[in-house]
Amino acid sequence: MATDIIMATSTTKLTFIIPIDSFDSLNSVCSFFIIKMRTISLRSAQAGSETRTNLLLTSGWWSLSRHFHYVPELTAAFLWSSPARATSIVSGYFYFCFLLGLLTDRAFRDDDRCRNKYGKDWEKYCDLVPNKILPKLW
């Protein structure tokens, strides 16, 4: 029983410290990395003959992967689900597995949509930021 209390306390600390620290550093990318913000301009065709230019970050956390902001969300979901593993693995990690599937599907759909919208400019962006979610893995 004492080990359960210690495990729950340490898991609770990790649940709040890691996601909040990641979120705080995401909001202060330029001061965290101490580099100038780098962007890439992407042009998309609009209705008629209009073109629209959008900027995408290629520095800081967004130089690591195109959807790096999913990592703290998945980490938080895993840590919030961890204390429930004692009752059932299925019910304990359902939220994490659901969110993992949802965000993975969303990353693929977003990639397809941007590829159709920006064309060759999107390929240039993918060359600069090759990973979708996890840096150096995927």
Range of the domain at 83: 2-128
Q: Look up the pTM and report it.
A: 0.65
Q: Let me know if residue 103 belongs to a domain.
A: yes
Q: Let me know if residue 120 belongs to a domain.
A: yes
Q: What is the pLDDT of residues 64-97, one digit of tens each?
A: 888 888 888 989 988 888 777 666 666 778 888 8
Q: Are 36 and 30 in contact (CB under 8 A)?
A: yes
Question: What is the DSSP code string of 38-100?
Answer: -EEEEEEE-STT-EEEEEEE-SGGGGT-TTTTHHHHHHHHHHHHGGGGGT-HHHHSHHHHHHH
Q: How many domains does the chain have?
A: 1
- 9 or 117, greater pLDDT: 117
In the 8-state DSSP scheme, what is residue 133? S
Phi, psi of 41 (to 5 degrees): -90, 130
Q: Let me know if residue 54 belongs to a domain.
A: yes
**How far is residue 137's CA from residue 112's CA, in Å, rounded to a whole number?**
20
Q: Let me know if residue 72 belongs to a domain.
A: yes
Q: Let me know if residue 136 belongs to a domain.
A: no
Contacts of 60 (CB under 8 A, 6+ apart): 29, 30, 32, 33, 35, 37
Phi, psi of 31 (to 5 degrees): -75, -25
Q: Let me know if residue 27 belongs to a domain.
A: yes
Using a pLDDT cut of 90, give the percent of the chain over it: 11
Q: What is the pLDDT of residues 43-68, one digit of tens each?
A: 877 766 778 888 887 877 778 888 88
**Local confidence band at 32 (pLDDT 50, 70, 90 cut-offs):** very low
Q: Let me know if residue 11 belongs to a domain.
A: yes
Q: Let me know if residue 93 belongs to a domain.
A: yes
What pLDDT score does 71 carry?
87
